[in-house]
Structures are given as C-alpha cells and as structure tokens.
A = this chain, B = another copy of it.
Amino acid sequence: MPELDGSLIAGLPLFSAMSKKELDFLLCRARSARYPKDLAIFEQDGNADAFFLLLDGHIRVVRLNEDGEQVIARYINPGELFGIAVAMGRATYPASAIAAVDCVALAWPNEAWPDLTARVPQFASGAYRTIGERLQETQDQVMQMSTEQVEQRVAHTLLRLVQQSGRKTAEGIEIDFPITRQDIAEMTGTTLHTVSRLLSAWEDMGLVRGGRQRVIVTDAHNLMLIAEHRRKR
C-alpha cells in the first residue's frame, strides 16, 4: 500500500527522529483503514484491543454519562495518537471515538504494544507525552469551567479549535470539520441556545461568521479579548 511506505508518516513529529528500519517495524505491524463519517471507531467501555494513529480526517471523542447526557472531550487531528488505553494499562476505552468526517487511520493491535515500545522507545515516549498533554488540557478545562463564564469558555474553545483544526479561507480561519452549536455546547458545558446567541452576537460584531455546521473566525484578536475578559477586579 502506497500510504504505508513512510513518506506520509515520516514528516510527523512523533516519527521524525526514527530510522527507516524503526519506521518499517512500526508500519508493517499496523493496518490502515478508512472510517466513514459518523462511524464509531471504538465505543466507550468497549474492550480496548487496539490503538490508533489518525492520518487524515477529524475524530470526535465523546463521553456519555449514565443518563445519556453527552460531553465532547476533544477532537483528534491528523498526526495524533488516540485510543491508547493500553499505554495506561486500561482494559476498556474511557470514551467513544466517532469519525467527524471520513477518516483514515493506522491501527495496531494491543498485543503489538510490548514489542513496539521495546524496539522503538521513541514511540512509547511519544505516546506518554501525548497522554501528558491530554491530562494537562483536561485539567485546564476543569479550571476554565470553575473560573470562567460561559462567554469566555466558548470563546476559548473556538480559538482552540481554530488553532488546532483551522483552515485559512478568504474570510478568516474556518474550523475544518462540520460542527454544530450543540457540539460546541457539549464542549463547554452549556446549551446550544446559549452558544447560538453568543455566535449571533459575535457575528453582529464582525468577529465570526457562521453557517449550518460551520464556524469561521474572522477576527481572532478581538475574540481573544472576549476570551480573556475579566468581569471583576
């Protein structure tokens, strides 16, 4: 398969310091697969039997509580590892992974993990660094939810999405996958109504442009002012 010859992958930071031999070792143990939009690549509480590297597309990581209420933990972008429960000694996935658009990913069976980490230690340390970043981001989120108003949280989230998954357009930077007001609400702990109101207000101020499942940030600078705005003090 031409996608697996390494040319596509060697450019990723995770693999940049690897030799050709190490790369081959990794790649020949993975299988590449297409995941159509809306497919669950794995399910929360499902048996964790593989871990993944996203090559193309965007993935929504979703947690469901016992009442069926949904929260979006994060989006995964190309080049990122996901589903690496095995690195944390977990037997099940803590969340579901849903393809936000058509995706291509590499998948390794969990049984390959010991060999992989033994033979290619950079791969293991990359995975652990990823986990560290996720923990940090999640703790940041807790802090934001504790200390910020809804308006600031939504602004921060939009800026983060645009930074991580933005695509330059003539009008500004567009979030590169379909995202609903409801999705943004589930990332920020609010309701789609409040998100819609905020986006409408910001559109009037010329900070963003919206559409059905589309958000474009046209004035990141002033949006940042809103995100950092302090009520008191």
Stretch of A27-35, A86-94, A100-108 contacting B (4+ beta carbons < 8 Å): A86-94
A143 touches B65 (CB 8 A): yes
How far, in whole Å, are A134 and B141 apart by their CA atoms in the complex? 14
Structural contact, B138 and A87, CB atoms closer than 8 A = no
The one of B73, B87, B230 in contact with A128, judged by C-beta atoms closer than 8 angstroms, is B87
B-side contacts of A94, CB under 8 Å: 135-136, 139
Residues of B within 8 A of A138 (CB): 135, 138-139, 142
Interface membership of A111, Cβ < 8 A: no
Query: Is the C-beta of A189 less than 8 angstroms from some C-beta in chain B?
Result: yes
Which of the residues B71, B89, B139, B146 comes within 8 Å of A146, measured between beta carbons? B71
Indicate whether A139 sits within 8 Å of B63 (C-beta atoms), given known contacts A128-B88, A145-B145, A147-B69.
yes
A186 within 8 A of B: yes
The smallest beta-carbon distance between A104 and chain B, in angstroms, is 26
Complex interface bits, A39-82 against B, C-beta within 8 A gives 1, otherwise 0: 00000000000000000000000010101010101000000000
A212 at the interface (CB under 8 A from B): no
**Chain B residues whose CB sits within 8 angstroms of the CB of A132 once the complex forms:** 85, 87-90, 131
CB distance from A140 to the nearest CB of B (A): 8
Nearest residue (CB) in B for A185 is B146
Copies of this chain present: 2
A128 touches B89 (CB 8 A): yes
Q: Are A145 and B146 in contact (CB under 8 A)?
A: yes
Additional pairs, 15, CB under 8 Å, beyond known A87-B128, A131-B131, A142-B189: A65-B147, A67-B147, A67-B233, A69-B146, A87-B132, A88-B133, A90-B129, A90-B132, A94-B136, A95-B139, A138-B138, A142-B145, A145-B145, A146-B189, A147-B189
A-B contact pairs, 23 of them (CB 8 A): A63-B139, A65-B143, A71-B142, A71-B147, A73-B139, A73-B142, A85-B132, A87-B132, A88-B128, A89-B128, A89-B129, A90-B132, A94-B136, A94-B139, A131-B132, A134-B135, A138-B138, A138-B139, A141-B142, A142-B145, A145-B146, A146-B186, A147-B189
